[in-house]
């Protein structure tokens, strides 16, 4: 069969090919135009001779990822097709996903890195706040009222000062009962508003700081002129400094004859607070809550400090609030007390708060009246929540309800996972393991001792143990029993609490157990330093763990011939055993540790005495027992340190 002849323009077989043949033309490289380059980057074209996956890179190199991000959202942020992200998940992670699949933050970060993109993480509230911040005009911001928290030692006049300020600034209606309604109230001075938060002391302050919430603009530190700087005063200073909040000192009770204002200023200067008239930058105002002397001056100083810090807010944006309190009301259901930080909170707004997504059904102001909206620096009660939110959480008004519901579901799953996982706190037993893994470079310590001299010496001794691998920081040192405040501060700062010759009170012990805070109690300084050293090098040996058995209060003290001093006691909790060791506490400070020599019920010897019963206790080789002393009974069990952890 005769074949078809050559085309007249085709080159002869012996001649070099001047024009590409059909096969050659099929594989010829096309010139790379700008549009073709873009298609190659987006993965829509496959380059000749190169694997497809190697060429797929993100168009946007720096992206922000948030909670509950989906495959589609991640692909849109990177500027590539969602099918490529799904394929990468299947090949690298063996995960079958759809475009609406929610990704874990870690997985989203690794996926973005595989496409050559760098990520920064942000919560849903932060993302929404940032979007509004970028869209709003700075000219829309107007000055807002300062939020003030009053702190100080017990019996230094905090409540009296608050009551005097409140009663002396009643404009047209009675302001009584506000703290029962809401825990916060607002006053007017010289035509300007000031908001006071009546928080339950340092506990709420610490819990909010632990969650990263800063609602307080100014701290008013109350110090009694006739008493001076006390342990809780120092705690208040430490809390305010840790939160980075300006401090105004109100030297109270100047109407008393024993008042020594200069002495107070000297004590505060030793703590790093130097008065303005002494060349420092801390405003100190002598006041009297009883005679209402200089209260106007104190309020003027608050407004002046607020003006210097240029506190502003935008009334045109959706509301951003902080949860101050949350309670379950029998008639109204879950009720949250919030402070509006920015924007406007209105009735009917949808909001997200942690794992809570709901709608504002009603707003109640500090006077107990229903209001339609709340402006910045306004405390209100919010009704309409499905469940109770966490104190310190951010309440964010949202418009994208579908996305908010998705985030809430994602957070609920995370909360369940965290609840199932073991709460991991820093303990001396785990310190060495975490050091080997490079997790810890600092060991934070909260120190409490029986006297100030011991606290100072122990603090210096601990800090001298620092080396090039781990640095020991004493966040707070004080005198007296370990309180719940100390435990909460340790929980917020991932710290270990060390007690030297002191014990935790019952609330502190309960909170430490709940928050998984490591409490270490010592009476000999070298044993304490040896324990820290062994923890740092991972040589902690099996230790004796104290097992509490019972607790009794001394009602009367009897002197009996041939027996000695007998403590007539009432067992408050647990059981007092004859073979127990005991610790005698006076004002929560350890006075003596020893053994029970005799235990009696009336005239009969007893092997044990249970809670609610009276008994007589004699302590071996010790007779200095006084009424109202506390006797703690315990036994020591030898345990391995991994069990102790």
CATH at residue 433? 3.40.50.10050
* pLDDT tens for each residue of 165-201: 877 443 333 333 333 334 677 888 888 889 887 655 4
Contacts 24+ apart (CB under 8 A), 198-201: 198/150, 198/162, 199/149, 199/324, 201/151, 201/485
Q: What is the DSSP string of 566-625?
A: EEEEEEEEEEEETT-EEEEEETTEEEEEEEEEEEEETTEE-SEEETT-EEEEEETT----
Please give the Cα distance from 444 to 473 (Å, whole number).
Answer: 5
Report the pLDDT value the prediction gives residue 14, as an integer from 0 to 100.
46
Instruction: Tell me if 7 is assigned to some domain.
Output: no
Q: Are residues 354 and 461 in the same domain?
A: no
* Domain end point (choices 107, 122, 137): 122
> Which pLDDT value is given to residue 199?
56
At residue 22, the pLDDT reads 46
- The DSSP-derived string for 99-157 is TT-B--HHHHHHHHHHTT-EEEEE-HHHHHHHHHHHHS-GGGEEE---EEEEEE-TTSS
435 and 450 co-located in one domain? yes
For range 519-539, the mean pLDDT: 77
Higher-pLDDT residue of 105, 445: 445
Tokens 């002849």 belong to 5
pLDDT tens per residue, range 67-97: 778 888 888 888 888 888 888 888 877 778 8
- The mean pLDDT value for 320-343 works out to 83
Rounded Cα–Cα distance for residues 521 and 585 (Å): 14
Q: Are residues 196 and 287 in the same domain?
A: yes
> Are residues 619 and 597 in contact, defined by beta-carbon separation less than 8 angstroms?
yes
pLDDT tens-digit profile of 150-162? 888 777 777 788 8
The total of other beta-carbon atoms located within 10 Å of residue 341's CB is: 22
Q: Which pLDDT does position 180 carry in this prediction?
A: 36
Phi/psi for 186 (5° steps) reads -125, 145
Question: Does 443 lie in the same domain as 415?
Answer: no
CATH of the domain at 590: 2.40.30.10
Q: Which of 11-20, 193-202, 602-611 has the lowest mean pLDDT?
A: 11-20
The pLDDT confidence band at residue 336, using thresholds 50, 70 and 90, is confident
Task: With H, G, I as helix, E, B as strand and everything else as coil, classify residue 549.
Answer: strand
Question: How far is the C-alpha of 644 from the C-alpha of 429, rounded, in Å?
Answer: 8
- Indicate if the pLDDT at residue 47 is higher than 60: no
Are residues 69 and 90 both part of a single domain? Answer: yes
Q: What are phi and psi of 391, to 5 degrees?
A: -65, 135
Residue 528 has pLDDT above 60, yes or no: yes
Residue 272 domain-assigned (yes or no): yes
Q: Is residue 370 part of a domain?
A: yes
Contact 223, 153 (CB under 8 A): yes
Integer Cα distance of 540 and 530 in angstroms? 9
Residues 337 and 412 both lie in one domain: yes
The answer to whether residues 295 and 171 belong to one domain is: yes
pLDDT bin (cut points 50, 70, 90) of residue 352 is confident
- Work out whether strand 362-364 and strand 247-252 pair parallel, antiparallel, or are unpaired: unpaired
Q: In the Cβ-directed half-sphere of 5, how many Cα atoms lie within 13 Å?
A: 3
- What's the residue count for the chain? 645
Task: Evaluate if residue 444 carries a pLDDT over 80.
Answer: yes
Boundary residue ending a domain (420, 436, 454): 420
Contacts of 325 (CB under 8 A, 6+ apart): 182, 183, 336, 337, 391
Do both 551 and 536 map to the same domain?
Answer: no
Cα–Cα dist 618/636, whole Å: 20
Residue 91: what pLDDT? Answer: 81
**Mean pLDDT value across the chain:** 77
Range of weakest confidence among 54-68, 132-146, 314-328, 594-608: 132-146
In a domain? residue 250: yes
List pLDDT tens digits, range 471-484: 788 888 887 889 88
pLDDT at position 31 over 80: no
Is residue 18 situated within a structural domain? no
Please give the model's pTM, rounded to 2 decimal places. Answer: 0.52
pLDDT at residue number 556: 92
pLDDT of residue 569: 93
Lowest mean pLDDT among 116-130, 169-183, 598-612: 169-183
Write out the residue range of the structural domain in which residue 505 sits.
Answer: 428-540
Q: Averaged over 395-411, what is the pLDDT? A: 80
Provide the 10 A C-beta neighbour count for residue 244: 8
Query: Is residue 586 scored above 80 in pLDDT?
Result: yes
pLDDT bracket for residue 441 (50, 70, 90): low
Evaluate whether residue 335 is within a structural domain: yes
Secondary structure string (H, E, C) spanning 374-427 = ECCCCEEEEECCCCCCCCCCEEEECCCHHHHHHHHHHHHHHHHHHHHCCCCCCC
Question: 462 and 565 in one domain?
Answer: no
Q: Does residue 88 lie in a domain region?
A: yes
Residues 167 and 81 in one domain: no
Number of domains in the chain: 5
Which of 394, 420, 446 is the last residue before a domain boundary?
Answer: 420
Same domain, 154 and 265: yes
**Whole-number CA gyration radius for the chain:** 34
Residue 438 has pLDDT above 80, yes or no: no
Lowest mean pLDDT among 99-103, 467-471, 480-484, 503-507: 467-471
Report if residue 19 sits inside a domain: no
pLDDT at 551: 93
**CB burial of residue 18 (10 Å; 0-12, 13-18, 19+):** exposed
Does 301 share its domain with 179? yes
pLDDT digits (tens, 9 = 90+) for 222-237: 898 888 888 778 878 8
The answer to whether the beta carbons of residues 219 and 329 sit under 8 Å apart is: no
> Beta strand 62-66 with 218-224: parallel, antiparallel or unpaired?
unpaired
Poorest-confidence range of 7-16, 71-80, 445-454?
Answer: 7-16
């Amino acid at each position: 069969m005769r074949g078809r002849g050559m085309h007249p323009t085709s080159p002869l077989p012996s001649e070099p090919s001047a024009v590409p043949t059909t096969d050659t033309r099929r594989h010829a490289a096309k010139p790379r135009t700008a549009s073709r380059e873009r298609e190659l980057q987006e993965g829509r074209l496959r380059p000749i001779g190169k694997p497809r996956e190697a060429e797929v890179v993100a168009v946007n190199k720096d992206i922000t990822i948030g909670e509950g991000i989906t495959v589609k959202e991640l692909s849109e942020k990177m500027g590539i097709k969602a099918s490529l992200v799904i394929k990468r998940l299947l090949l690298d992670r063996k995960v079958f996903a759809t475009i609406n699949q929610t990704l874990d933050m870690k997985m989203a970060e690794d996926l973005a890195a595989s496409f050559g993109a760098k990520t920064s993480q942000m919560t849903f509230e932060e993302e929404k706040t940032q979007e509004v911040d970028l869209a709003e005009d700075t000219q829309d911001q107007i000055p807002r009222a300062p939020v003030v928290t009053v702190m100080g030692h017990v019996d230094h006049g905090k409540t009296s000062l608050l009551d005097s300020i409140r009663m002396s600034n009643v404009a047209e209606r009675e302001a009584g009962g506000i703290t029962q309604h809401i825990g916060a109230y607002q006053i007017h001075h010289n035509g300007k508003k000031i908001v006071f938060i009546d928080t339950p002391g340092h506990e709420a302050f610490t819990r909010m700081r632990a969650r990263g919430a800063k609602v307080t603009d100014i701290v008013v530190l109350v110090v009694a002129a006739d008493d001076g700087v006390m342990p809780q005063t120092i705690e208040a200073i430490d809390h305010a400094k840790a939160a980075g909040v300006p401090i105004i000192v109100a030297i109270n009770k100047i109407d008393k004859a024993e008042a020594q204002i200069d002495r107070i200023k000297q004590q505060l200067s030793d703590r790093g607070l130097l008065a303005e008239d002494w060349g420092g930058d801390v405003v100190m105002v002598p006041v009297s809550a009883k005679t209402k002397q200089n209260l106007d001056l104190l309020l003027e100083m608050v407004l002046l400090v607020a003006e210097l810090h240029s506190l502003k807010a935008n009334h045109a944006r959706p509301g951003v609030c902080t949860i101050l309190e949350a309670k379950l009301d029998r008639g109204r259901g879950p009720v949250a007390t919030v402070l509006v930080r920015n924007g406007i909170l209105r009735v009917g707004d949808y909001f997200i708060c942690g794992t809570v997504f709901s709608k504002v059904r009603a707003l109640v102001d500090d006077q107990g009246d229903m209001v339609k909206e709340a402006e910045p620096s306004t405390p209100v009660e919010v009704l309409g929540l499905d469940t109770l939110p966490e104190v310190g959480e951010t309440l964010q008004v949202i418009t994208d309800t579908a996305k908010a519901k998705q985030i809430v579901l994602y957070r609920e799953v995370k909360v369940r996972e965290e609840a199932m996982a073991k709460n991991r706190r820093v303990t001396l037993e785990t310190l060495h393991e975490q050091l080997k893994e490079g997790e810890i470079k600092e060991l934070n310590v909260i120190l409490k001792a029986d006297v100030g001299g011991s606290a100072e010496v122990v603090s210096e001794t601990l800090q001298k143990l620092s080396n090039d691998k781990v640095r020991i920081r004493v966040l707070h040192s004080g005198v007296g029993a370990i309180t719940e405040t100390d435990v909460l501060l340790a929980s917020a700062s991932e710290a270990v609490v060390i007690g030297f010759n002191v014990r935790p009170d019952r609330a502190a012990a309960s909170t430490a157990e709940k928050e998984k805070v490591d409490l270490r109690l010592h009476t000999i300084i070298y044993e304490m330093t040896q324990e820290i050293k062994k923890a740092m090098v991972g040589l902690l040996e099996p230790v004796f763990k104290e097992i509490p058995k019972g607790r009794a209060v001394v009602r009367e003290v009897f002197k009996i011939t041939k027996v000695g001093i007998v403590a007539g006691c009432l067992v408050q909790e647990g059981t007092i055993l004859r073979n127990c060791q005991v610790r005698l506490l006076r004002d929560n400070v350890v006075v003596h540790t020893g053994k029970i020599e005799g235990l009696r019920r009336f005239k009969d010897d007893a092997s044990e005495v249970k809670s609610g019963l009276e008994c007589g206790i004699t302590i071996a080789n010790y007779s200095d027992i006084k009424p109202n002393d506390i006797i703690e009974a315990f036994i020591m069990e030898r345990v391995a340190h991994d069990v102790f952890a």
